[in-house]
Each structure stands twice: as structure tokens, then as C-alpha cells.
Amino acid sequence: MSEAAAISIDDVRDEAHPLVDKDLVRWHLIAAVFFMFTAMLGGFIASLQFLNEYPFNGISWLSYGRLRFLHTNEVAFGFLVNSFVGMLYYAVPRLTGRPLFNRTLGWLIFFVWQALVLLTSIGQLLGKAQAVEWGETPTGFRPGTFELNYVPVDFLIEVGAVLLAINLLYPIAKSIHKRLYVSLWYITAGMIWLILTYVMGNTLPEWTLAGSSGGATAGLYIHDLVGLFVTPFGWGLMYFFVPIILRKPIWSHALSVIGFWALAFFYPLNGVHHFLYSSIPMSVQYGAIIATIAVEIVVTTVVVNFFGTMWGRGYALRQSIPIRWFYTGMVFYFTTCLQCSFQTTLTFQEIIHFTDWVPGHAHLVMLGVFAFWNMGMIIWLWPRLTGHEWYSRRLLGWHYWLVMLGLLIMFLDLTAAGLVHGFMFKNMAPWMRIVDSLKPFWWFRTFAGAMIITGVSCFIYNLWMTAKHDKPYDYRVDLVHDPKEAIANG
Amino acid sequence: MDRFPSIILAAAFGCFAISMLLSAVYPWAITDASQAEASIADVAANITEEFADLKKSYPVSFRQKLGEAAAAADAPLEAMQAAHAEALQRGRDLYIAEGCWHCHSQFVRPVANEEARFGHIRTPAEENNALQRPVLWGTRRVGPDLTNEGGKRSNDWHVAHLHNPRSTSPGSVMPGYTWYFRKGFQVFRRIDPNKAEVANIDPDTSYPYPGLYDTEEEAREALETIKANLDPTVAEEGDRLFVRESVGPDGDALCIIAYLQWLGTWFPEKPTEE
């Protein structure tokens, strides 16, 4: 990582020809935070339906079912894509020593992407959604025909992803370094997988394959969007930011490459585990189960590598808020994946499938891991992008504890609810008895959601005030090599 | 691309291709490849009893949505099949658009006593039809599974449930879909209070005749027709026909109900009883 550190110093010196277009990065992060908040608010309001306290009953376009589309799709396409793209626009030029392919193209992608996310949400609220989880983005065509009934968002997202790939893969191809750092492996492959996955998931189950074959590809899509788009970008950026902040190289480069190959091979084979006991052939289901358990080995190598890197820098957890977010996320990542290798077995599936256990798991991975990492990265980058010191470090602490504890409560609560549901169901309890038993858990879930929203509101207020107030950020902090001093001030 | 390590490209494309081969092409090859996907016309050919009843119970909404040809009392089979296909397609689209599939699965598993609770487990052949593209298995059950919903409950139950789920299932957390209901005028009949007592009916209960009309005039015309056709031995003094504002399911609601009443009624090969 010494190369990346050296480039960052050059960048500070040469303001006239910066490697990174800071405005582009900043606006992607602003869009990301905006969609994160609307998505979370959507999820919170939707949770009120479970308490029969839903405020918009009777308004078709704000009904619970449609708002739920908005919640999951804005998290994926509004929050995570924007945040990752902003971070990649920052990291890739620094890792390769080359600016993006084209800055104007970058701005074009930015505006088109925000329009597409908004059109997705509007289309879903108007009833144009499709029935592939996370692929609910409107095709714009009436199902099974070529009659347009809305903007063809699916198709435009595919074009946008290809343009993004051109912008990001060009500097990687022209890198000034002979060897590519492991981040660039993840980013290159992740970019290609994003395109392949999106095209696969938005064509096969909707246009060509019905029933069980379509179910297999829909399962692949749900899983690949997490495993082949979010995960490689997330880890790629962790491999970039953690060594920079800790001022030491990654513990083992060999382990990092093993992690990459194992992810590339095993992750895409997992998809069918979303539909165990279905009419998909049993041999395929067993294959997916074995591949899922194998992923746990990958995860262990990666997590060991990062905790090895942390060795001797434990105080960073207390002093550096970004590191705290990153490593909390890694602990949750390990938990999620460990959970995965158990819950993918047929024994666990019998009880937990179709219950609240599954949303608990989904929140742990999407919020507890990837949103945590992105918020940590935003916290590290924001002073460097705006040139202002953080408005309030105390509020950053409130943000961390509210969101972290809120998520923990939500996860434990939904997991317990899932077990109650699963066992009552198996024991033939009448359906309404099950629903009544789950209501206390749903109240807790809404409470946890309120904690998370409050924490994120602290964060947004802090971001806003940091951009507005006038205490300048001291760039010399980035030039300090002594880890103790750098971490304490960074 | 002078320095671009081709090994990363190989990892990205190669591993993705392997996964497609093992988890998409292979299962397709051993299940659905041998049999063509059934079209909507195929699955709509067998008209459910409940679909015919929707026409009788909600004639105006039925006519408005599915056309005069099918709405006629003596509609030919082909017209009814075409209307059934249209209703299934529309009902399925609304089922997707409202996110019904987020809380109701169509996926009975051979474990956890699901067969005892929800009935028949679908085979790949049964699922290989145009209404299962995209597949509507779902991943969460806040409400019960709907795989075999067809014929389980009456149309009227579905109408009441769609309007306010708590009216039929106390404690339910499902939202009411009131925007699939329209206002209009309907003919009601109030029974002679003395006779009602004999028949053990609440004397204040008046019951509606099928047909929710957009204007009061249409409803009055319908009233005259009903009056002319009343059986004089049943119609006694004290019975009263009158027109009043009312609410009922619109054409879209009928399509949703037609779809729900179809679920589980169509099989490419009927399972043999043993």
C-alpha cells in the first residue's frame, strides 16, 4: 500500500491536475446518503403495517406492498451502487495512477443513474414492478409482450452498467503499476459480474424460463447480486481503506488472492439455496448447499487476514471511527456467513424458511456489513472531500451506537421471531395464532428501526453541518507516517 | 489492454459460466427442456366454477372489464375461455404489482407438515406455465400459502377479505385493497319483518341483488326488471325493493379473485388417485 499512500501525497500537492474528481465522488456520496435515508424511512413506515398502524392505508401508490419494493430496491441501486461508485472513483485512480476514462461520462452516468433509481421507485409505486426479488425494476414492457407501458428501466440500467465499466476498467487496464493490487481484482471482476448478473436476472426468469427453471435463475440472481456485486466491491474497498488508515500493509497477500479465487468459484454456485425443497432437481439443491458451506472457508481466510492486519493496532478500534465501522461490519460478516452455512442445511431450512429469520439475516448482511462499511468509508472521506473537519465527533459516536445497537436488536428480534414462527408452524398451530404470537416481535422490530433512523439522522445532520461550517481539514494528517499519531488524528 | 491480466477476466467470465451451467442449464435440461411451456390459453381452458359465479354475482364489473361477449348469460365456451385467460393474466399482473407474493408463497414443501396444512405439492411440470414466468414461489409467509387456494373459499369471502382483511380474518395484518372497489347504485330487497322473524333473519337486513350500476337510472331500470320477474308466491306485502348507494369490487378485483380461484386447479397431468 506504500504506492497508494505515495499517490495520495502527490494528489494533495498537485491541486491543478488531481487524479480524483472530488466533486464526482462527493455527489455520488450525497446521492447515496439520500437514498439510504429514503430507503430506511420506507422500510420503517412499511414495518408499521405489521402493527396495523400503517398511516397510508387506502392510498394505492403508498400501500405497504408497493413501499416494500422501494425499500429493497433503493438500498441496492440507490444507496449501495451510488456509494460504491463514489468510492471506486476515489480508489481506482489512486491504485492505478490513472484518472477515469472520461470525466464527462462520469457525470452523465451520475445523472442518468439517479434518474433510473427514481424511475424505478416511481414505477414500483405506480404498479409496474416485476416479481423477481431485487429485480423488481420495471422492464417497461407488459409481461411477455413487447408493448411498452413504462420507461424500460431494466434495459437502461444495463447500458448504464456497461458505461460505468468502461469508465472504471480503462484506468485499471492502463495502470502504471506492473502488478494489480487485490482490490483491483475484486473491482474488475465485480464490475463484469454486475453486468452479467443484472442481464441474467432480468431476462431469464421473466422472458424465457417459467416455473422451476426460472426459480433456479431467480435464486441465482438474488444471490449473485449480493455475492458477485456487493461483496467484491465491499471487500475490494476494505483492502484499500483498512491499510491506509492503519498505516500498514495487508497481513497476507497470498491469503487475499485465495479469498478472491474462492469467492469467484464458490459464490456463484450458491443461488439455488434460496429455494430448497422446491421442484428444482434435488441434485442441484445439494450442490448449492455444499457450495454455500464452502463459502464459509473463503470467509474465514478473508476475516483472518483482516484481523491479522489489525494485530498491534487494536487501539484504532477506539480512536478511529471508520475502523470501528469496518471491523464491526467484519464481525457481522463472519456471523452472517457462519449463520449461512447452518441455515442452508435442509434441517434448518425446514424450520426457518418463510419466517422472519430470513429478513433478520438480510438486514444483518446488507445493513450490518455493507452499509456499515460504506458509512465508515463516507466518514473517512467526507472531511477530505469537503476540506472541512468533522462538525461533531460526539454525533459520529451517537450515529455508531444507535445504528449498531438498533441493528443488533433487529437481528436478534427477527431471528427469535423466525424460530417462534417456524416451530409453531410445524406444530400445526392455527395461522392466526402464529400471527398473534409474532406481533410483540414486530413491535420490537419497529422500535429498532426507529433507533436506526435516529442514528442515521444524526449522521446526515453531521454531514450537512460539516459541509457548511468553516473549520478547515488539516491535510497534513494524511502525510503522517507514525500510526499512533495518524490514527489518533485521522 | 496491454497490462490487463487476462486471468481476472477468466475468473469473472469462467466462474460465472460454470455457475450458469450447473445451476441454470443443468436443472432446465432435466426438467423443463422436454416439455413446452403451457400458454395462458392452455391454463385458462378449464373454467372454474368460481369464475362463472363471478359473472353472476358481479355482472356489471364483469362486463366492464371482460367485455359483452363473455358477460352474456348464454356466452359460448370460447368467449368464456378468452375472458378467463384475460382475467388470469390481469389478476396475475396485479398480484405481482401489489407485491402479494412478498407475503404469500406459492410453494408447498414436503416438510414441516406443509402438505397437511396447504395440500398438494407442485411438480416441475405443473409449474411450467406462462403464469409462473416469473415464478411466484415467494420467500416469506406473513400470510398463508396460496398454491392450492382455488375453490377453498367463496368469491364473497375474497371480496370482503380484499376490502378489509380483518372482516374475515380477525387479527390479520394484511392491508385492505380498497382502490379495487368502486361506488355505484344497487338494488336491495328488504324482507317483510314478520317473515324475517320466521326465517330467523335480522329484520333490518336487506340483501342486495347482483349488479352495481354506475348511475341511479340504470339501477332503477334493473329494479323494474326484477319487480316484473318476482315470483308472486314469494313476494308478499311488506317486501320492499329499493335502490341505494353501495360499494362493490371493480373489474380488477374480479381478475385478482379469478386468479386466486384458479390457483391449484390446473394440472397438465391429473394425479391418479390410488
- Residue A13 pLDDT class (50, 70, 90 cuts): very low
Give a yes or no: residue B5 inside a domain. no
B:75-94 residues touching chain A, CB 8 A cutoff: 89, 93-94
Q: What is the pLDDT of residue A268?
A: 93
Q: What is the pLDDT of residue A333?
A: 96
As given in the structure block, the three cell numbers for residue A427 are 406444530
B238 touches chain A (CB under 8 A): no
Residue A59 domain boundaries: 1-180
Residue B206 domain boundaries: 182-248
More confident site: A298 or B211: B211
Contacts of B128 in chain A (CB under 8 A): 210-213
Give a yes or no: residue B237 inside a domain. yes
Give a yes or no: residue A360 inside a domain. yes
Q: Which chain B residue lies closest to A188 (C-alpha atoms)? A: B8
**Residue A128 pLDDT greater than 80, yes or no:** yes
* Identity of the residue numbered A434: I
Average pLDDT across chain A, whole number: 92
A414 touches chain B (CB under 8 A): no
Nearest to B11 among A189, A269, A279 (CB): A189
Give a yes or no: residue A118 inside a domain. yes
- Residue B200 pLDDT class (50, 70, 90 cuts): low
**Residue B38 pLDDT greater than 50, yes or no:** yes
**Residue B204 pLDDT greater than 80, yes or no:** no
A:71-110 residues touching chain B, CB 8 A cutoff: none
Give a yes or no: residue A375 inside a domain. yes
Average pLDDT across chain B, whole number: 89
CA distance A164 to A75: 19
**Residue A80 pLDDT greater than 90, yes or no:** yes
Helix axes B49-57 and B59-66, enclosed angle (nearest 10): 110
- Residue A178 pLDDT class (50, 70, 90 cuts): confident
A317-A320-A321 Cα angle (round to 5): 95
Q: The whole model's pTM is what?
A: 0.93
Q: What is the pLDDT of residue B167?
A: 94
Nearest to B8 among A185, A274, A432 (CB): A185
Interface contact flag, A63 B13, Cβ < 8 Å = no
CA distance B126 to A215: 13
Q: Which of B98, B132, B135, B168 to mutate to test the interface with A (most CBs of A within 10 A)?
A: B135
**Which of A128, A158, A180 is the last residue in one of the domains?**
A180
Interface pTM, i.e. ipTM? 0.93
Which residue, chain included where needed, has cell 372489464?
B65
Average pLDDT over residues A296-313: 92
* Model confidence pLDDT, tens digit, residues B237-266: 556 888 999 999 999 999 999 999 999 998
Q: Are A212 and B127 in contact (CB under 8 A)?
A: yes
Give a yes or no: residue B244 inside a domain. yes
CA distance B242 to B220: 8
Closest CA to B211 of B14, B31, B16, B54: B54
Give a yes or no: residue B55 inside a domain. no
CA distance A80 to A28: 10
**Residue A6 pLDDT greater than 70, yes or no:** no
Strand bridging mode B181-190 / B240-249: antiparallel
Contacts of B124 in chain A (CB under 8 A): 211-213, 279-280
Q: What is the CATH number of the domain that holds A449?
A: 1.20.210.10
* Model confidence pLDDT, tens digit, residues A350-408: 999 999 999 999 999 999 999 999 999 999 999 999 999 999 999 999 999 999 999 99
Average pLDDT over residues B30-59: 92
* Model confidence pLDDT, tens digit, residues A422-473: 999 999 999 999 999 999 999 999 999 999 999 999 999 999 999 999 899 8
Average pLDDT over residues A340-359: 95
Nearest to A431 among B101, B129, B144 (CB): B144
Give a yes or no: residue B101 inside a domain. no
Give a yes or no: residue A91 inside a domain. yes
Give a yes or no: residue A81 inside a domain. yes
B6 touches chain A (CB under 8 A): no
Give a yes or no: residue B207 inside a domain. yes
* Model confidence pLDDT, tens digit, residues B217-228: 999 999 999 888
Nearest to A425 among B101, B110, B112 (CB): B112
Q: Which chain B residue lies closest to A431 (C-alpha atoms)? A: B144
Distance from CA of A307 to the nearest CA of B (A): 26
Contacts of B142 in chain A (CB under 8 A): 50, 435
H helix intervals, A50-102:
64-73, 81-96
Give a yes or no: residue B213 inside a domain. yes
Give how many domains chain B has, as a whole number.
1
A62 touches chain B (CB under 8 A): no
More confident site: A220 or B270: A220
- Residue B270 pLDDT class (50, 70, 90 cuts): low
Give the A:B interface size as CB pairs under 8 Å.
Answer: 243
Quick one: how far is CA B226 from the chain centroid?
Answer: 29
**Residue A2 pLDDT greater than 60, yes or no:** no
Average pLDDT over residues A164-174: 93
**Which of A164, A180, A196 is the last residue in one of the domains?**
A180
Give a yes or no: residue A258 inside a domain. no
**Residue A143 pLDDT greater than 80, yes or no:** no
Give a yes or no: residue B211 inside a domain. yes
A:139-168 residues touching chain B, CB 8 A cutoff: 142-144
Q: Are A306 and A331 in contact (CB under 8 A)?
A: no
CA distance B252 to B254: 5
Give how many domains chain A has, as a whole number.
2
Q: What is the pLDDT of residue A77?
A: 95
What proportion of chain A, given as a percentage, has pLDDT over 70?
Answer: 96
Closest CA to A33 of A422, A456, A483, A478: A456
**Which of A152, A180, A208 is the last residue in one of the domains?**
A180
Give a yes or no: residue A249 inside a domain. no
